[in-house]
């Protein structure tokens, strides 16, 4: 259920379903009935206005209206365009509606919602390619202004199903969105996610087997995506089974490295060493679980990289921007380690990002926010999902493009959208914790994509559990409760598979 379908892939799924013997008429009947059932499950009977568009989305609206009337609800239906212009499955289901069909034109909009308790938005689906205009725009602006609860069919009208962006300037603000078979990127990416409200994924009779032929490469990030490969301990485990993370500590902003180290330990790394200057060593040594290693020269740093037991390296948090950070990042990549590059380690390559990309060969995760992303990938265009995918393909690394709707993209085309991050994570140091979680999971043998996905999800879940008032220091300490919950639901085979 974690697969996410693009608009084109959903069209392919519909077509494949008909090839499997499921008629379009049946699919539309099931879709409209699912909308009506979702509305009935959340609302007491009330007067409903159903806004129907001229395509299949409008056909779903006719079906929903029919089922609500059959359940005793009062329904008023307004159609954008002429009824005799409908075609195919939409025309069939419009023919089964024996109520009044009002014309949805701009003159009708002022009185459209009088006495209504609920609106069903069946104007346009996920594939809308041009801005709302005329009567459609007026109807949407009016319902948004009135503040009536809206149930949207597929996606709120005015929202792109592929990007979550507004197609123009106006879109429906829905309290509920009912979509079919699988979510679309627009349900998860901002601002679409905020406009969808609660998202219900309905089974409308499309066989699950159609997904085999489509082979989706986009997913909603969640434990189902990676938990079977999570490196749980077992009774005969010891710390050396779970890797040794090396974190380059900053000489001035020491808090960043300390947060990352604490997170790496909490997420399960067997050992964590912070490499730092002799002057800052006492600060890092305040954490008794962390090993400290003084680095006075580049030879000292190279000696740490030469230790094969140190299998994952994090650079960037608090390190400073400049040639030293750049050189140390290249050295880590050349040492055959799994590498996480964050913050200053990314900006240090702003002038010559190709130097970084050419050095990436093995497991590597880049964790830019939008500003850092622009410095490395200045010519990347498109929506967030497309940009992250292009960046991963160009760099050869897993790219975690951070934000409230973080996207994790792999060079092979896979991508996951993380939608569980609460706004309370928008505070200093939380990105350092995220980087520490990733390096801790890499040290335990998770692949770059799995580690980045798991870390992003754990980060969001922990933030949501803490809620208002959280600061970055709280996150590592609250993580064990989230891990206990995750382990309780983990497949038995994951518990029996430590890294050796």
What residue ranges of the chain are covered by domains with CATH 3.40.1190.20? 223-495
- At 273, give phi and psi (nearest 5°): -115, 135
Q: What is the pTM of this model?
A: 0.95
* Cβ atoms of residues 453 and 420 within 8 Å: no
Report in angstroms the alpha-carbon separations of 388 from 405, 438, 474. Answer: 12, 18, 29
Report in angstroms the alpha-carbon separations of 256 from 8, 115, 199, 349, 430. Answer: 43, 56, 37, 20, 9
Q: Which alpha helices (DSSP H) does 423-473 contain, by range?
A: 430-443, 448-466
What residue ranges of the chain are covered by domains with CATH 3.40.50.10260? 3-216
* Cβ atoms of residues 49 and 120 within 8 Å: yes
Beta bridge partners of 294: 276
CATH of domain 223-495: 3.40.1190.20
pLDDT at 178: 98
User: Taking the alpha carbons of 445, 450, 455, 457 in that order, is the dihedral positive or negative?
Assistant: negative
* Cβ atoms of residues 95 and 62 within 8 Å: no
Q: Which of 385, 361, 356, 388 is nearest to 374 (CA)?
A: 388
Q: Average pLDDT by consecutive 10-residue portion of the chain (500 residues)?
A: 94 96 98 98 98 97 98 98 96 97 96 96 94 97 97 98 97 98 98 98 96 97 97 92 97 96 98 97 96 97 97 97 98 98 98 98 97 91 94 98 98 98 98 98 98 98 98 98 95 45
* Strands annotated E in 94-167: 101-103, 118-122, 150-153
What is the Cα–Cα distance from 287 to 58, expressed in whole angstroms? 61
Sheet with strand 364-366: strands edge to edge:
3-4, 218-220, 415-417, 407-409, 398-401, 364-366, 338-341, 312-315, 244-248, 271-276, 291-294
Residue 417, class by beta-carbon neighbours within 10 Å (0-12 exposed, 13-18 middle, 19+ buried)?
A: buried
What is the Cα–Cα distance from 354 to 312, expressed in whole angstroms? 22
Q: Which CATH number fits domain 3-216: 3.40.50.10260, 3.40.190.80, 3.40.630.10, 3.40.50.460?
A: 3.40.50.10260
With residue 340 as reference, give the H or E element that holds it. Answer: strand 338-341
Q: Which of 98, 157, 90, 149 is nearest to 122 (CA)?
A: 157
Q: Which of 169, 220, 171 is nearest to 196 (CA)?
A: 171
Q: Which of 423, 420, 424, 454 is nearest to 437 (CA)?
A: 454
Q: Which of 453, 391, 386, 451 is nearest to 419 (CA)?
A: 453
Q: Which of 306, 249, 238 is nearest to 444 (CA)?
A: 238
Tokens of 72: 């005793």
């Amino acid at each position: 259920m974690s697969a996410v379908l693009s608009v084109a892939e959903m069209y392919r799924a519909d077509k494949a379903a008909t090839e499997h013997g499921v008629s379009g008429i049946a699919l539309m009947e099931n879709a409209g009935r699912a909308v009506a059932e979702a509305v009935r499950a959340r609302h007491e009977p009330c007067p409903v206005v159903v806004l129907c568009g001229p395509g299949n989305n409008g056909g779903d609206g006719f079906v929903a209206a029919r089922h609500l009337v059959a359940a005793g609800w009062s329904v008023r239906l307004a159609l954008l365009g002429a009824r005799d212009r409908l075609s195919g499955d939409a025309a069939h289901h419009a023919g089964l509606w024996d109520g009044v069909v009002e014309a949805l034109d701009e003159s009708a909009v002022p009185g459209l919602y009088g006495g209504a308790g609920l609106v069903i938005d069946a104007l346009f689906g996920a594939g809308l390619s041009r801005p709302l205009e005329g009567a459609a725009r007026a109807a949407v602006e009016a319902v948004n202004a009135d503040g009536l609860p809206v149930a949207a069919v597929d996606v709120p009208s005015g929202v792109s199903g592929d990007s979550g962006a507004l197609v123009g300037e106006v879109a429906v603000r829905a309290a509920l969105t009912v979509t079919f078979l699988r979510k679309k990127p627009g349900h998860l990416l901002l601002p679409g996610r905020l406009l969808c409200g609660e998202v219900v994924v309905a089974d409308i009779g499309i066989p699950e087997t159609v997904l085999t032929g489509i082979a989706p490469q986009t997913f909603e990030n969640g434990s189902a995506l990676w938990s079977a490969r999570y490196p749980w301990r077992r009774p005969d485990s010891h710390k050396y089974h779970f890797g040794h993370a090396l974190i380059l500590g900053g000489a001035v902003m020491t808090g960043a490295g300390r947060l990352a180290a604490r997170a790496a330990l909490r997420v399960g790394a067997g050992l964590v060493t912070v490499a730092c200057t002799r002057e800052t060593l006492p600060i890092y040594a305040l954490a008794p679980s962390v090993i400290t290693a003084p680095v006075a020269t580049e030879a000292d740093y190279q000696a740490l990289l030469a230790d094969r037991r140190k299998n994952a390296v994090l650079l960037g948090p608090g390190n400073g921007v400049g040639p030293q950070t750049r050189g140390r990042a290249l050295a880590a990549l050349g040492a055959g380690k799994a590498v996480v590059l964050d913050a200053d380690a990314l900006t240090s390559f702003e002038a010559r990002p190709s130097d970084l990309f050419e050095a990436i060969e093995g497991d590597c995760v880049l964790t830019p926010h939008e500003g850092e992303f622009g410095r490395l990938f200045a010519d990347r265009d498109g929506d967030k999902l497309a940009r992250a995918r292009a960046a991963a393909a160009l760099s050869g690394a897993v790219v975690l493009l951070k934000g409230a709707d973080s996207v994790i993209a792999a060079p092979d085309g896979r991508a996951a959208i993380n939608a569980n991050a609460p706004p309370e994570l928008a505070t200093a140091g939380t990105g350092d914790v995220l980087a520490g979680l990733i390096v801790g999971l890499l040290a335990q043998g998770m692949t770059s994509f799995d580690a980045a996905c798991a870390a992003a999800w754990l980060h969001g879940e922990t933030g949501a559990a803490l809620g208002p008032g959280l600061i970055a220091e709280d996150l590592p300490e609250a993580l064990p409760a989230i891990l206990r919950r995750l382990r309780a639901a983990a497949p038995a085979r994951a518990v029996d598979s430590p890294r050796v």
